[in-house]
Amino acid sequence: MKYFFLAYAIIAALFIGLMPMRGAKSPNTPIRLFPDMDEQDKLKAQQPDTFFSDGQGARLPVAGTQPLGFNPEGAKEIGGVHELEFGGGSGYYATGGLDGYYANGMPAELKLTAENVGAFLKRGEEVYNVNCAICHGQSGDGLGITSNYGVPGIANLTQDSWLPAVYPDGRLFATISNGKGNMGGYKHNIVLRDRWAVVAYVRALQTARKAPYDAVKEAFDKGIAAQAQ
């Protein structure tokens, strides 16, 4: 029986390959197994369009629209963030590397103190939940929503292989920036400071995961009560 299906597949492939799908003239709609973007939901320049009341397809940009990457002359900020914050540097703050090696610790450029570190971690939580939790899960265990759809290779950030002694902060920052495996880089989406905030938050998740229950009981109970509401 298996030889029958093999012969059937070979004959079908030859038949499809020899069919004159290209070059033949016909009044019928062509059969295209691979559309190759021949038809797109777009309007070519200077073409009319009955969708709009004036019949013109060409529309003026929305008020305040700026081309991607455009800054008014002299301006150095994009959306309130200094453009250099997206990258371009060569130090530890911009790359996670120090003298050819990945290092641990938060860069001095962050100017973290006992007073602002809490807000820094909160920012890390916000950015993580927006960009990372969908795959890595809110607790970092790799059981985000994409794991339900068979996405392979999602890292469980709570495992020992991701702890600072094995996977330094700088390396984790570089992975967030440049991507790894199936994960794309986020250096064009998340500014430097926020990427470091995510690193700090991941470390907090790892610490909380391994903390004795007595040390986190109060916060744990509050979280459970909040979920029950």
Helix (H, G, I), strand (E, B) or coil at 141: coil
130 within domain boundaries: yes
Structurally, the chain folds into a number of domains equal to: 1
Q: At 69, is the pLDDT very low, low, confident or very high (cuts 50, 70, 90)?
A: low
Give residue 163's domain range.
90-228
What is the per-residue pLDDT for 83?
57
Give yes or no for residue 188 having a pLDDT over 90. no
Q: Concatenated DSSP letters for 14-65?
A: HHHHHS--SS---SSPPP-SS-TT-S-S---TT-B-TTSTT-B---PPPTT-
* Short-list 187, 202, 101, CA closest to 157: 202
- Model-level pTM? 0.63
CA distances from 143 to 3, 56, 77, 207 (A): 43, 49, 36, 18
Give pLDDT, residue 105. 94
Is residue 222 situated within a structural domain?
A: yes
205 domain-assigned? yes
| CATH number of the domain bearing residue 145 | 1.10.760.10
pLDDT digits (tens, 9 = 90+) for 70-89: 556 555 555 555 655 666 67
Q: How many CB atoms lie within 10 A of CB 158?
A: 19
Across 13-27, 36-50, 155-169, 210-224, least confident range: 13-27
| Calpha distance 4→140 (Å, rounded) | 50
Strand, helix or coil for residue 101: strand
Confidence of residue 65 (pLDDT cuts 50, 70, 90): confident
pLDDT tens for 87-123 read: 667 889 989 998 889 999 999 999 999 999 999 999 9
> Does residue 1 form part of some domain?
no
Does 36 fall in a domain?
Answer: no
Does 44 fall in a domain? no
The answer to whether position 163 is within a domain reads yes
